[in-house]
Amino acid sequence: MPSLGEELKRLRELKGWSLRQVEEKTNNKVSNSYLSQLESGAVKEPSPNVLYALAKVYGVSYPALMTLAGYVVPRPAGGNSTSRMSIAFSAMNLSSDEEQEVLDFVQFQRKQKRKRNS
Amino acid sequence: MKLPSQIAVPESRNDITQEVKRLLRAADVNGRIPTPRADILACAELVESGELNLFAYEESFRTKALGFLHKAVGKVFGYLDFRAKEIYVDPKIHPNKRNFVTYHEVAHKILDWQRVIYTQEDHSTLSPECKSIFESEANYGAAEILFQCEKFEEMALDYNIGVASVLELANLFDASAHSTIRRFVERHRQPCLVLVLKPTRLEHDEGVQSYVICYSIASVSFLTKFGDPFRNRFINPGDQLCDIVNKTRQSDSIWFKDINSSSHEFTVEPFDSGYRQFALISPTAKKRSRIVARLHIDSGTMKTAR
C-alpha cells in the first residue's frame, strides 16, 4: 500500500497539475506549501477536511484517503454490524465495551421503531 | 497554554464556520437570539429522540448484566444516529448545556467530511486520533451555532469585561456560563484571561483551598502582550491569585509583567458556576462602561439604552 504522501503525489501528477493549481482548485483550502509537505511525508496526518477537499478535486474516494492517513481503521474482531459508524457519541470516558453496549441498544431502538412504524 | 483536546481549536475552523453560516442562513436565524433550536434542527433534518427506554431493551436481553447499560448510558451526554436522523440528548443535563450538546450533534451532521465517514457501510471504524479531531470539530461547530459566529463578539463589544457581563450574555444566548466565559475571553479584543480551576484535596487552615489550573484561555491580545504567566499548574495559599480566589485577601488586584517587563494591574474575579470554578482576569484600568457604549442622542437629550 502506498503512503498517503505518495498517493497524493501520484494523483496530482496523473492530472498534470502543479501544486499551485491544486491550491486554486481547492479554493485555497490546501496551500501549495502544505500540499508539498503532505506529498513529501513531512506532514503525515492532515486534517480530514483537507483530505476531503483533495478527494473532491482529484475525483477519488475520500474514505480511501482517510484509510491511507490511518484515520479509518479495520474494526476490531467482535464488531458484528456493518453500520456501527453511523453513530456519533458525545460522552465522557466511555470504554469500548460500554460503547458497544450503547451501540447495541441504539440498534435495538431502531428495530423497535421500525416495527412500530410498519 | 495547551488546550485539552475537547476544547482545542481545530485546523478546519474556517470550513466549520462556513458550514455553520450556511446553516444559520438556511434556518433564517438572521440574528435572532437565542439561536432558534427548533429551526436549526429542522434545517439539519434531525429530530430529537426523547427519553431512552432502557427497560424494554433489558427485558429483551435478560442474559445481559443488568445495570451495565445504565452505567454506559449514564456517561453519554448525547448521540447522533445518522441512519435514523435522530439525536438524543441526556435529559438530566442542565438546560443550558443541552443546547451545546444538541448543536454538537448537529455539527457532526452538517460537516460533509464527517458525515461521509460516519455513514459508510463497511467493516471499518475511526482511529482514536480521528475521533478526537471530529469531537473537537463538533465542539467548535456547536459554539459557532450557539453564539452565531461573529454575532456574540459584536454584542460583547458593548460590555465591560466582567463576570456580570458574561452571565448576562449567557442568559441572552441561552448558553452555559462555562461556554460563554470561554467564548467571551477567546474572542475579546482586550487582554483578558480565564483560568478554569479545580480545588485540590489539600487541606489548609480555616478551609483555605489550593487549586489546580485545569486549563486557561486567553484573548489574543493577552497572549501577544503577556505570554502565558501561569506556568505552574497549582496555586497555593500565599499566592496572590490563590488568596483572591479564597477571598482571604483585601485587594483583588494582581500584577503581570508584559514582554517588555512593564508591570500592569489586572483585576481577578473568582466565579463558581456550580460545576466549575473560574478566575476571570482583566485589566484594572481603562474599563469602558457598557452604558457609555450605548449612549445615543434622542431629541436632544442623552438617554441610555439599558
* β-pair partners for B95: none
Distances (CA, A) of B37 to B27, B29, B81: 10, 10, 18
Does residue B80 sit in helix, strand or coil?
strand
Taking residues B38-42, report their average pLDDT: 97
Task: Tell me how close the Cα of B120 comes to any Cα of chain A, in angstroms.
Answer: 7
Which pLDDT band, with edges at 50, 70 and 90, does B125 fall under? confident
* β-pair partners for B271: B278
Residue B289 has pLDDT above 60, yes or no: no
Alpha-carbon gap, residue B99 to B261, rounded angstroms: 43
Residue B236 has pLDDT above 90, yes or no: no
B72–A98 C-beta distance less than 8 A: yes
Nearest 5 degrees, angle CA B187-CA B190-CA B193? Answer: 70
pTM of the model: 0.85
Which pLDDT band, with edges at 50, 70 and 90, does B300 fall under? very low
Write the residue in A49, A92, A112 that is nearest to B56 by C-beta. Answer: A112
pLDDT of residue B97: 87
Which pLDDT band, with edges at 50, 70 and 90, does B1 fall under? low
pLDDT of residue B206: 76
E-assigned strands of chain B? 47-48, 76-81, 86-89, 124-126, 193-199, 211-218, 234-235, 253-257, 263-272, 277-283, 295-298, 301-304
Length of chain A: 118
A51–B105 C-beta distance less than 8 A: no
Q: Cell match 439539519: residue?
A: B44
Length of chain B: 306
Tell me what percent of the residues of chain B surpass a pLDDT of 90: 47
Cβ atoms within 10 Å of B218's Cβ, excluding its own:
24
pLDDT of residue B299: 38
pLDDT of residue B51: 74
Nearest to B57 by CA among A107, A105, A98, A84: A105
Name residues whose C-beta falls within 8 Å of residue B59's C-beta, 6 or more positions apart in sequence: none
Alpha-carbon gap, residue B113 to B117, rounded angstroms: 7
Taking residues A56-68, report their average pLDDT: 96
Cβ atoms within 10 Å of B262's Cβ, excluding its own:
9
pLDDT of residue B304: 34
Q: Which three cell numbers stand for residue B255?
A: 500584577
The per-type count for chain B, helices as H runs and strands as E runs, is 13, 12
pLDDT of residue A86: 78
Contacts of A102 in chain B (CB under 8 A): 69, 72-73, 76, 79
Q: Cell match 506556568: residue?
A: B231
Q: Which three cell numbers stand for residue B2?
A: 495547551
Does residue B235 sit in helix, strand or coil?
strand
Residue B203 vs residue B148, higher pLDDT:
B148
Tell me what percent of the residues of chain B surpass a pLDDT of 70: 86
Contact B182, B192 (CB under 8 A): no
A113–B79 C-beta distance less than 8 A: no
Query: Whole-number mean pLDDT of chain B?
Result: 84
Taking residues A98-111, report their average pLDDT: 82
Tell me what percent of the residues of chain A surpass a pLDDT of 90: 58
> How do residues B159-202 score in pLDDT, each as one tens digit?
989 999 999 999 999 999 999 999 999 999 889 999 999 988 87
First vs last C-alpha separation in chain B: 37
Nearest CA in chain B to A70: B127
Helix H or strand E segment including B296? strand B295-298
Q: Which of B39-53, B55-69, B249-263 shows the lowest mean pLDDT across its residues?
A: B55-69
> How do residues B83-109 score in pLDDT, each as one tens digit?
889 999 988 888 888 999 999 999 999
Q: Which of A70-74, B206-210, B299-303 shows the lowest mean pLDDT across its residues?
A: B299-303
B123–A82 C-beta distance less than 8 A: yes
Q: What is the DSSP string of B155-220?
A: HHTTS-SSHHHHHHHHHHHT--HHHHHHHHHHH-SS--EEEEEEE-S---GGG---EEEEEEEE-H
pLDDT of residue B235: 87
Name residues whose C-beta falls within 8 Å of residue B300's C-beta, 6 or more positions apart in sequence: none
Name residues whose C-beta falls within 8 Å of residue A87's C-beta, 6 or more positions apart in sequence: A103, A106, B79, B80, B81, B82, B118
* ipTM, 2 dp: 0.89
Does residue B81 sit in helix, strand or coil?
strand
pLDDT of residue B234: 87
Write the residue in B11, B83, B126 that is nearest to A110 by C-beta. Answer: B83
Alpha-carbon gap, residue B226 to B228, rounded angstroms: 6
Q: Which of A66-70, A87-91, B21-25, B285-289 shows the lowest mean pLDDT across its residues?
A: B285-289
* β-pair partners for B58: none
E-assigned strands of A1-118? 72-74, 87-91
